Amino acid sequence: MTSRTPMSGADTVRSPAARTPTPADVAAMVKARGGITIERHLTDAQRAAALAADVRRGLTAVPKELPPTWFYDAAGSMLFGKITELPEYYQTRAERAILSERAPEVVAELAAVLAGGVDTFIELGSGISDKTRLLLAALAGTGRLRRFIPFDVDAEALGRAGVAARAAHPGLAVHAVVGDFRQHLGLLPAPRTSQQATAGDRAATGTLVAFLGGTIGNLRPPERTELLSALRDRVGPREQGGPRSGPGEHPEPGAALLLGTDLLKDPARLVAAYDDSAGVTAAFNRNLLTVLNRELGGDFDLRGFAHVAAWDPENRWIEMRLRSVRPQKAYLAALDLTVSFEEGEEVRTEISAKFDRPAVERDLAAAGWRLHRWWTDPNEDFALSLALAL
Is pLDDT at 16 greater than 60 in this prediction?
A: no
Question: Which pLDDT score, from 0 to 100, does residue 194 have?
Answer: 55
Question: Which pLDDT score, from 0 to 100, does residue 100 have?
Answer: 94
107-125: average pLDDT = 91
Question: Which pLDDT score, from 0 to 100, does residue 203 have?
Answer: 53
For residue 283, tell me if it sits in a domain: no
Q: What CATH number corresponds to the domain at position 49? A: 3.40.50.150
- The pLDDT tens digits of the residues spanning 203-244 come to 557 999 999 999 999 999 999 999 999 999 999 875 444 444
For residue 280, tell me if it sits in a domain: no
Q: Domain range spanning residue 145? A: 28-63+74-236+252-266+355-389
Is pLDDT at 184 greater than 70 in this prediction?
A: yes
For residue 273, tell me if it sits in a domain: no
For residue 366, tell me if it sits in a domain: yes
For residue 111, tell me if it sits in a domain: yes
For residue 208, tell me if it sits in a domain: yes
Indicate the pLDDT class of residue 34, thresholds 50, 70 and 90: low
Question: Which pLDDT score, from 0 to 100, does residue 29 have?
Answer: 39
For residue 309, tell me if it sits in a domain: no
Q: Whole-model pTM?
A: 0.87
- The total number of structural domains in the chain stands at 1
Question: Which pLDDT score, from 0 to 100, does residue 241 have?
Answer: 42
Question: Which pLDDT score, from 0 to 100, does residue 32 have?
Answer: 41
Q: What SS3 string covers the chain?
A: CCCCCCCCCCCCCCCCCCCCCCCCCCCEEEEECCCEEEEECCCHHHHHHHHHHHHHHHHCCCCEECCHHHHCCHHHHHHHHHHCCCCCCCHHHHHHHHHHHHHHHHHHHHHHHCCCCEEEEEEECCCCCCCHHHHHHHHHCCCCCCEEEEEECCHHHHHHHHHHHHHHCCCCEEEEEECCHHHHHHHCCCCCCCCCCCHHHCCCCEEEEEECCCHHHHCCHHHHHHHHHHHHHHHCCECCCCCCCCCCCCCECCEEEEEEEEECCCHHHHHHHCCCCCCHHHHHHHHHHHHHHHHHCECCCHHHEEEEEEEECCCCEEEEEEEECCCEEEEEHHHCEEEEECCCCEEEEEEEECECHHHHHHHHHHCCEEEEEEEECCCCCEEEEEEEEC
For residue 221, tell me if it sits in a domain: yes
